Structure 1
Amino acid sequence: LTLLRTQTACNSCQMSFLITCPSGYKKTPRSPISSCRYVIKTNNVMLAVPGCSFECYREVEVPSCCPGYWGPDCMECPRSSNRPCSSRGTCSDGLGGNGTCSCQEGFAGTACEDCATGHYGPTCQSVCSCVHGLCSSGLKGDGRCTCFSGYKGPNCDQELPECSALNCQQNSRCVEDSLTGRLECRCSPGYEKAGLQCVSVNPCLQPVCHTDASCIHTGPNQHLCACNQGFSGDGRVCMPVDPCQTQNGGCAPESTSCVFTGPGQSRCDCLPGFENLSGGGCALKDACKPASCHQNANCSTVGPGEVQSVSHPLHTPTSGPAA
C-alpha cells in the first residue's frame, strides 16, 4: 500500500474542526495543525489573515514487481531474482522494465555471465595483450597467449624467420619448445592431434550452451550458442519468451486477456462478460434476462454483465447490473 497525503485548505482556526478531508481521505492521526493564511474579502478589500489546516491521508494499492522481476507479469530477471544479472550488472526490473541486463565494465552476456571480448580473470578486469596469438580469456582464463605460427614471446610479438624451413603441415604451426628451445610443428590453436593430422576441436561435444539452446560448430574450437524457439538470450543464458509481456500478446485488451501457456506461446481468453465468436475473437455476452428490466421496457446489454432498460413511451429508463 502507498500513502497519499494532502493538506486541507486554510480556514479559520475556530472552524477547523468542521472542515473535512477530501473524498476518500482520512484525517492523519495526531496530525499537527499547521499555521497558514487565508484570504477574506471585505468592502472590496482582500485581507490575508492567520488560519489553520491539517493533513489528510489515503491508502492506495499500487501494483509493482518485487526487486529482480520485470514486466506486467513480473517475470524473473536473467540468472535469478536473488542474483539478477549474476550480481555483475543491473536488471531493468519493475512493471515498466524489459528484463535486460546492463553489465558492469568488463562483463558481457544476457546475464553478465562472462567476460567481455579480450578480458579475463574472475573479475574480468584484466585485458589480453596477445599481438599475434590467441588469449586465454573469460572468467577462467589466465591471459596467457598461444602464438600463431612464426611468433614467440609472452605477447606473441617476436617473429621466428626460421620456421619456414620446417614446412609444417596443414592446420599446424611452428613453435619454440619452452624446455629445449627447439623449433617444432604443433597443431594450431583450435586443432588437436588425431593420428598424424591436426583436426578441428568441436566444443559442441561438451555442454557449453544452455539447456534450452542449440550448439553450432562454426570453426576450430569455435561455436555459437543459439536459444531454441520460444526462448531468448545469448545461448549461454536463455529465458522463456512470454508473448503476453508485449502488447498483451496480440489479444484485444478491451475483451480478452492474454494467458501464458509456455515458452513463446500464449492464448487469448475472453474476459468475464464476453463470449467466444465462431470466427474467432470475443463479443459482449447478452446479459439480459426476463427479470432484468421492467415489463414495459426493452433490455439491452451495455457492458459486461450490465444492462440498460429503454422504456416504452411514458416510462422512465433505468440501468444497472443484470439480475
Structure 2
Amino acid sequence: MPARFAADLARLWPEDEREGALGLAVSGGPDSLALLLIAHAALPGRIAVASIDHGLRPEAAGEVALVERIAGERGIPFAPLAVRLAPGNVQAEARAARYAALARWAGDAGLGALATAHHADDQAETLLMRLNRGSGLAGLAGVRARATIEGSAVPLLRPLLGWRKAELAAVVAAAGIVPAEDPSNADPAFDRARLRARLAAADWLDPVRIAASAAHLAEAWQALEWYAELDWHEMVMRDEEAPGFAYCANVPRIVAIETILRIIRELGGHATRAEAARAWDRLWAGENASLGGVLAVPGVERIEKVGVMMRVWRFRPEPARGSVN
C-alpha cells in the first residue's frame, strides 16, 4: 500500500515540485486515519498532521486528542486547530472555516502541500448528488484531485480518490486502532447520508468507475478553463472611454459564461454561474443584463482588427441608485 500511495501522490505532486512536508487533515475518522497511516509508511519523516475542532460536538475534543496520540506515537508533528463558524449553512460554513484554518497552518508550518482523505466512495456520492441537482460541468467534475484553497497557493491534494472506503477502514483495523465515528455521516437528515445508504445497497454501481468518470469530467473542465482563458485574452478589451470592458461574444455559451464571470470579478462584482448563464441568455436575445453590480449592454459593432461585424457586449459598473447619468 505505501508504494501504491506514493505512486498516486507522485501523479498529483511530482518529486521535483516538492518543497516542504506534506500536511494531512485528519479528523479521527477511519478515512483520514488511514491516510495518516499510509502516508507515514510511504513518507516517513516527511508529513505533518492537523486535526480540527469545529466546536459543533462535545466529542470533537476527544477526537482531536485521539489523532494527537496516534501522531505522537509515530513521531509525527501535530497541530490542533480550533475554528468557530459564522451563521448560515452549517456544513458549508464548517468546510470554509476548516480549509481556511488548514491553509494558515500550512503557511505557518512551511508545508509543501496539503492532503485530505477523500476517496472513491466520496467522489461517487458527490457526482451522483450533483447529477441529481442538474449541476453544470464545473460541479460534475466533482472533488478535484489537485486544487488550491482560496486565498492560498499551497496545493490541495486528494491522493486517495482511487481507493475504496472499505480498503481504508481495513488499514485502520489492521493497526488495531478504533476510529471515531461522526454520527452525521449516517444521519438521514443529510442528503449525502441518504445517498450513501442507497449507494451501499446498489451493488451494481461501482464507485471507482463513477469516480473515474468524475476525473474525465474534470479533464473536460480543465480544457474549458483553458479555452476561457484564451477567450479572455483574445476577445475582451478594456473600454478606454468609460470604466468597463467590451466583449466580442463569439464562443459557445459554456465558455462565454466563464468569461462573463471574469469580467464581473474584474469590475469588483460577484456573480454565480447560474446568474452569468441567465445574463448570457438575455444578452444573446438582445436584452440588457444586470448582475453583480455590473450592467451589460448588447450590440453589434465592426471590429477593426478582424474587419467584420461582430456581436459585442459592453460591461460597466451600474450607476448608484438615485444617480443621474
What range is the shorter-chain TM-score in?
under 0.3
Larger radius of gyration: 1
TM-score computed with the length of structure 1 as normaliser: 0.20
Instruction: Give the structure with the higher percent helix.
Output: 2
Instruction: Give the structure with the higher percent strand.
Output: 1
Structure scoring higher RCO (CA < 8 A, sep ≥ 6) equals 2
